[in-house]
Amino acid sequence: MRRRLWFGLVVVLLLALVACSTKQSPAITDPKSTEAHTISGTWWLMCGLASAVYLVVGGLIVVALFRGRRKGGPTPFRIRDNTFIVVGGLIIPAAILLVLGAQVVHASNNLRQPEKNPLHIEVVGKRWWWAVSYPDQGITTANEVHIPVGRPIEIGLDSDNVIHSFWVPQLGGKVDLIPGQHNIWRLKATKSGTFRGECAEFCGLQHARMNFLVVAQPAATFDQWLVRHQLPPSGPDNQLAATGQMIFMREPCSGCHTIRGTTADGTIGPDLTDVGSRLALGANTIPNTDGYLSGWIVDSQSIKPGNLMPPIPMSSSDLQAVVAYLRSLK
Ligand code: CUA
């Protein structure tokens, strides 16, 4: 019996260690926005109360196991009145649920309150990527949302296909993107950093690879980003990239992707105006390096099967040129 108990304890400890060591994963217990602080506060209260109940009940079981039944002596002690059941089974659980209920109502009322002078951003859920635009600034990008720290943000959420769900655990709760319904997520980042977001509603074959990044920057850095992105990219600055631009416009690429300031104006795939400066590719599926970019162009289906981009066969010199061109777009 004791050996089994020790084994159980060791397993629980190991699980706790694994949970603590996966720092890479975004966690709601690491809040970086006003909304996320409210949510994590509620989470800690729930966790604390649940742990207390678990420890008390578990402790009673362990005491009972180790004590065992008394040999001889008087008849074993039994609870003759209902005090134990009324207090332990009704009053204490009711009090706990009441506290949790009050906290949840209070927290929900405080989430997503409109504030003055928000920055408007629109996000549309696509077939496994996210179209991101700043309507007041005329900027369009994909899978990467830049926001300033400290300023209220309003993100309008829509979908042109099935239901997706926009979730950045460190910045707030999930909000669904529902075809035909315009939902709004409001938040205010309290710390700068790059936070991973993901789709939290099963939406098809590549649901698990429908990720994105939110880059929260100090106001001044964000303003620089904004100004730089308002201007169309300043044409290729070397011969290889110029050749790449020509090939890009000749091949099917330009029918599906937009690059501002050029004839490429497709809207099926992500806007590539700033693809050279993005942190990742394929909705945060692969790193944005020349090798991965080449692989994606030639056969994105082997990386993310079912996405809408067909394989684009190209000679290696053409591919090199196209990659050089895309790399120059910042
Ligand atoms: Cu989009 Cu799951």
Q: Given this model, what pLDDT does residue 7 score? A: 79
The lowest-confidence range among 11-15, 197-201, 213-217, 230-234 is 11-15
State pLDDT tens for residues 207-241. 999 999 999 999 999 999 999 999 888 888 899 99
State pLDDT tens for residues 258-308. 999 999 999 999 999 999 999 999 999 999 999 999 999 999 999 999 999
Ligand 1 mean position to 203 CA, how many Å? 4
CA pair distance 197, 170, nearest whole angstrom? 9
**What are 141's strand-pairing partners?**
132
Q: Given this model, what pLDDT does residue 234 score? A: 82
Structure tokens at 119: 């920055």
Q: What burial letters (b/e) apply to 257-289, b meaning 16+ CB within 10 Å?
A: bbbbebebebeebbbbbbbbbbebbbbbbbebe
CATH of domain 239-327: 2.60.40.420
Exposed, middle or buried: residue 221 (CB in 10 Å: 0-12, 13-18, 19+)?
Answer: middle
Residue 74 has pLDDT above 70, yes or no: no
Strands 211-217, 144-148: pairing is parallel
| Cβ(209)–Cβ(282) below 8 Å | yes
Helix locations, the chain, DSSP H = 2-21, 34-67, 83-86, 92-110, 219-230, 239-250, 253-256, 290-299, 316-328
CA pair distance 237, 77, nearest whole angstrom? 89
Q: Given this model, what pLDDT does residue 21 score? A: 55
Q: Given this model, what pLDDT does residue 10 score? A: 80
30: three-class secondary structure by DSSP: coil
| Cβ(37)–Cβ(190) below 8 Å | yes
Structure tokens at 94: 């009711």
CA pair distance 292, 37, nearest whole angstrom? 37
Per the prediction, the chain carries an average pLDDT of 90
Whole-model pTM: value is 0.84
Mean pLDDT, rounded, for 239-261: 93
Write the CA distances from 12 to 42, 43, 58, 121, 232, integer angstroms.
24, 20, 13, 43, 55
Which atom of ligand 1 is nearest the CA belonging to 200?
2
Ligand 1 mean position to 49 CA, how many Å? 33
CA pair distance 159, 165, nearest whole angstrom? 10
Exposed, middle or buried: residue 309 (CB in 10 Å: 0-12, 13-18, 19+)?
Answer: buried
Ligand 1 mean position to 174 CA, how many Å? 12
Ligand 1 mean position to 31 CA, how many Å? 23
Q: Given this model, what pLDDT does residue 6 score? A: 79
What is the percentage of the chain residues whose pLDDT exceeds 70? 93
CA pair distance 130, 282, nearest whole angstrom? 10
Which atom of ligand 1 is nearest the CA belonging to 207?
2
Q: Which residues contact 176 (CB under 8 A, 6 or more apart)?
A: 157, 163, 164, 165, 166, 183, 201
Ligand 1 mean position to 198 CA, how many Å? 8
Which atom of ligand 1 is nearest the CA belonging to 204?
2
Helix axes 34-67, 92-110, angle to 10 degrees: 170
Q: Given this model, what pLDDT does residue 64 score? A: 87
Residue 61 has pLDDT above 60, yes or no: yes
Write the CA distances from 198 to 75, 98, 162, 186, integer angstroms.
61, 33, 15, 17
Q: Given this model, what pLDDT does residue 88 score? A: 86
Query: Ligand 1 site: residues with CB under 6 angstroms?
Result: 125, 164, 199, 201-203, 207, 210
Q: What are phi and psi of 233, to 5 degrees?
A: -60, 145
Which atom of ligand 1 is nearest the CA belonging to 203?
2
Residue 73 — very low, low, confident or very high, per pLDDT cuts 50/70/90? low
Q: 119: part of which helix (H) or strand (E)?
A: strand 119-125
The protein residue with its alpha carbon nearest to ligand 1, atom 1, reads 164
Residue 79 — very low, low, confident or very high, per pLDDT cuts 50/70/90? low
Q: Given this model, what pLDDT does residue 84 score? A: 81
Q: Does domain 119-230 have CATH number 2.60.40.420?
A: yes
